[in-house]
Structure 1
């Protein structure tokens, strides 16, 4: 079989987006997936703002907005027009010409209150263009990304079970290819990206440590048919036995109870098992008459690999980190891994990577993953059903979340827009942050120039003084002149991270220093 540049194991959102990022840069990539078809099982119900911006930068926001329009219509139909705050806010935002920050989500079941959000907060105001592309369930996202991969010529092999891997040399080092052993034969590749989920075969075969904390709860999620669901309260509800939410689409139930793990964690979830959990937590004697699709069982098992790279094998998404699914952090964390790794691995394959570039995948993403694990652990701690935790939850919900500034900060954290990397020595804001919405005088946005995955230099100097810094790098850097005296010039990486900004006052000395810093950033990240 012909050699492949990269084999991606797993066709979930992380694997598909990573494959598309590689193919965008001319890398030959094959995705191997155990399932015959995309999994329709209900999982994550939405994206955070940082993830929606990833789609925006690759021209996929219109498709995400179409999914959200359909989801809002379904939610309105389910509630008979008596929609919750999230649906009302997003429906209203969709009809506005002026964008607002999309407030979606909760912390430990405590919903973020739209009436307390300061939409003039410059942190939130810099990330508003994707407000109409947030409510994208994981299944819809996989379909969307599958179509994106098809347009880019990515080969997706379904029904292929990965069984192991070996090196063509003495070890999985930088000088040998990797052979992926599967039910469909062997695949030889220069590199392997394991995006095969929390039970990753690749991670286990390599014996990579997966360290963290044991679970305290057992959770279930499904779309079910009930004989009479009228006593199930919509929204998040805490009980002495756990927490549950019903809706916002017909039959959707999520329930989590603090209980020992089942003996067989891999056994399919039956309607009887789900019904017992729902009755136990809610106290409502409902009867489940059927399941639409497959119910899922999960826990708050929180673990992370010590290193995201093992020679020529990278780990991404749930293969690198697992935790409770509250707030859909796993989906968003995986997309962040993919957009960070994709352009770096492609640069290495194309012989264009500066020294040490691939090592920055671990150094940048591992701390973000560790933070997310702590974020989810804190939510589980606040969900316990005892009286003291209920009192603490009331203080957090009523007192802390009742303060507009605190609410803004928690929403910014949950939305992923405060992620930050150390991309330059002694850097000052906004260097290291996500670019967000950058509008240009032409009427276009920075995201419009990012569809092909290149770096972007937005030159806002009055004389176009930075143009010659990239004039020989047109295949790697998109240059746009946008003179603006009160706004900084920006150099943005393919993953949307600002690698340089001219925040100096316009003097000869400062201009020379700014140019030197730009040259340093180009050398460090572009080569």
Structure 2
């Protein structure tokens, strides 16, 4: 059987992409190397992940947010966070996030700087368990007809002019398109000759789950030491950064070695009685120069890797999936030319580059030495200031993200505000079918320029909103980004925007 799209990797990025394609009616095969979706590294404490505003909005727009929220780690009614939760999340003052362990407070954040963000039930942050998130996405993908084959890691790829042949798990599969979502050591990326450029690691990160003879020997929280960084979350979750140039990555770590490492980095005489789990990572930051080569594309960690500092990697990858999904579906269905896929690279590559720089900047604050400590003190002062906290929130929460779509209107390229219509529907609900949406708030606006639009092609709604932000009309792409907007009686450019961004990919329109 030949599939429309073969996806390598059943992590969150591959699964969300599969959901997007499956909803559009594409035949999708997901190949996953691991035989089981379960892993200790995907469960708490190591499996703790933070979802930001673009991710939460994406999940809401596909009707997945309630299921994901049901398993969130931190809820107001739950009281204290579970053992092992990041120390900054358990502080008495409400914090909005951190930069290299330097926190910023919610009461310092000026949300008035983002006038396009309307009141919405969708938040800006949520802590979830990776395994629970994957379970929600896998269930939705299978409901949509996606085939998930586990224990079948990609071994060989041969790309032709009209299809890609993939060898995996001792079997051969064919697809019109192949998307590598198979992680930082992506076989698809290596097999298909993508250039992966960037910077080498400065440190090896060690994540440990251990029992300590006396946990009070270590101070909770993140501490920069003469040898690196030690982050202790009682009773036994430890993260260490050893500035060894990445030499310790993927090296075996037994109890004695882990104890020696902990004592050297922390400067404390801590004793590990039992080592339950150990994993390593680095701050190496690399990005594929191109996200597409012929019929092969990359998304998630296969396209970009960096340190997990600040929790941006998962959100970056899920953003890739939302951006690519509707575009690839439109090409598969013949609704758009392959040139539409070039916009995936143009839109997502700059965002990935910014996240890599964000990660590198945090590493600079963590380096042992007086210069880094002085710089960190200045950043801490800025984080206490209203402007500084607001800037950090904008970056950490992702609320300032804007694509360059070549139009001057300040809302174009941003995530659409969650407009509340007169009939009670929210904007997030209107995007559930994965269609583009044209909202006309002012019936007097001349939409005749877009008269060639078939009303079954996009969701066309003409009614006022509780707060239209002064807009008369706007076109929202299937991924929730504003493609065109007018705050007057001028509809110039609407027809062109519809032709470029209004591809019909939903299975059915919302009545």
TM-score (norm 2): 0.89
Name 2:213's counterpart in structure 1: 227
Contact 2:84 2:237 in 1 (8 A): no
Q: Give the Cα separation in 2 of the matches to 1:523 and 1:64.
A: 34
Look up the SS of the partner of 1:237 in the other structure. Answer: strand
Look up the SS of the partner of 2:110 in the other structure. Answer: coil
Q: Name which of 317, 321, 324 aligns with 1:338.
A: 321
Instruction: Kindly indicate whether residue 236 of structure 2 is the aligned counterpart of residue 237 of structure 1.
Output: no
TM-score (norm 1): 0.87
Name 1:65's counterpart in structure 2: 69
Name 1:200's counterpart in structure 2: 186
Look up the SS of the partner of 1:46 in the other structure. Answer: strand
The alpha carbon displacement at 1:136 in A equals: 1.4
Contact 2:73 2:129 in 1 (8 A): no
Q: Give the Cα separation in 2 of the matches to 1:236 and 1:126.
A: 35
Q: Deviations over 1:283-333 (max 9, x none)?
A: 2332334455x4321111011111000100001111111111111111111
Q: Deviations over 1:119-141 (max 9, x none)?
A: 44435854753228611132222
Name 1:94's counterpart in structure 2: none
Contact 2:52 2:124 in 1 (8 A): no
Name 1:347's counterpart in structure 2: 330
Name 1:95's counterpart in structure 2: none
Gaps of 5+ in 1: 91-102, 505-510
Q: Give the Cα separation in 2 of the matches to 1:255 and 1:436.
A: 40
Return 351-360 or 128-137, whichever deviates more. Answer: 128-137
Look up the SS of the partner of 2:321 in the other structure. Answer: helix
Contact 1:85 1:114 in 2 (8 A): no
Instruction: Kindly indicate whether residue 475 of structure 2 is the aligned counterpart of residue 499 of structure 1.
Output: no
Look up the SS of the partner of 1:369 in the other structure. Answer: helix
The alpha carbon displacement at 1:70 in A equals: 5.6
Instruction: Kindly indicate whether residue 360 of structure 2 is the aligned counterpart of residue 377 of structure 1.
Output: yes
RMSD: 2.8
Name 1:93's counterpart in structure 2: none
Instruction: Kindly indicate whether residue 49 of structure 2 is the aligned counterpart of residue 45 of structure 1.
Output: yes
Name 1:254's counterpart in structure 2: 239
Contact 1:459 1:467 in 2 (8 A): no
Contact 2:56 2:124 in 1 (8 A): no
Name 2:502's counterpart in structure 1: 526
The alpha carbon displacement at 1:439 in A equals: 2.5
Return 436-445 or 143-152, whichever deviates more. Answer: 436-445
Name 2:144's counterpart in structure 1: 152
Name 1:309's counterpart in structure 2: 292
Q: Name which of 442, 462, 470 aligns with 1:481.
A: 462
Contact 1:193 1:314 in 2 (8 A): yes
Q: Give the Cα separation in 2 of the matches to 1:467 and 1:227.
A: 75
- Aligned CA distance change for structure 1 residues 232 and 145 (closer, same or farther; 3 Å): farther
Q: Give the Cα separation in 2 of the matches to 1:280 and 1:352.
A: 60
Gaps of 5+ in 2: 504-511
Name 1:405's counterpart in structure 2: 387
Q: Give the Cα separation in 2 of the matches to 1:471 and 1:242.
A: 62
The alpha carbon displacement at 1:154 in A equals: 1.3
Pairing 1:72-221 to 2, within 5 Å after superposition: 76=80, 78=82, 104-123=96-115, 125-126=117-118, 129-131=121-123, 134-167=126-159, 172=160, 175-221=161-207
- Aligned CA distance change for structure 1 residues 127 and 37 (closer, same or farther; 3 Å): farther
The alpha carbon displacement at 1:354 in A equals: 4.4
Q: Deviations over 1:358-417 (max 9, x none)?
A: 11111111111111111100110011121221111111111x222202211221012222
The alpha carbon displacement at 1:84 in A equals: 5.5
The alpha carbon displacement at 1:210 in A equals: 0.9
Contact 1:44 1:328 in 2 (8 A): no
Equivalent pairs counted in the alignment come to 495
Instruction: Kindly indicate whether residue 17 of structure 2 is the aligned counterpart of residue 36 of structure 1.
Output: no
The alpha carbon displacement at 1:472 in A equals: 5.1
Contact 1:382 1:393 in 2 (8 A): yes
Look up the SS of the partner of 1:236 in the other structure. Answer: strand
Q: Deviations over 1:341-366 (max 9, x none)?
A: 00000000000014621111111111
Contact 1:177 1:188 in 2 (8 A): yes
Name 1:98's counterpart in structure 2: none
Pairing 1:505-516 to 2, within 5 Å after superposition: 511=489, 514-516=490-492
Look up the SS of the partner of 1:196 in the other structure. Answer: coil
Pairing 1:331-480 to 2, within 5 Å after superposition: 331-354=314-337, 356-398=339-381, 400-424=382-406, 426-463=407-444, 466=447, 469=450, 473-480=454-461
Look up the SS of the partner of 1:106 in the other structure. Answer: strand
Q: Give the Cα separation in 2 of the matches to 1:69 and 1:203.
A: 33
- Aligned CA distance change for structure 1 residues 190 and 491 (closer, same or farther; 3 Å): same
Contact 2:74 2:81 in 1 (8 A): no
Return 138-147 or 282-291, whichever deviates more. Answer: 282-291
- Aligned CA distance change for structure 1 residues 376 and 176 (closer, same or farther; 3 Å): same
Look up the SS of the partner of 1:461 in the other structure. Answer: coil
Name 2:509's counterpart in structure 1: none
- Aligned CA distance change for structure 1 residues 129 and 216 (closer, same or farther; 3 Å): same
- Aligned CA distance change for structure 1 residues 480 and 285 (closer, same or farther; 3 Å): farther
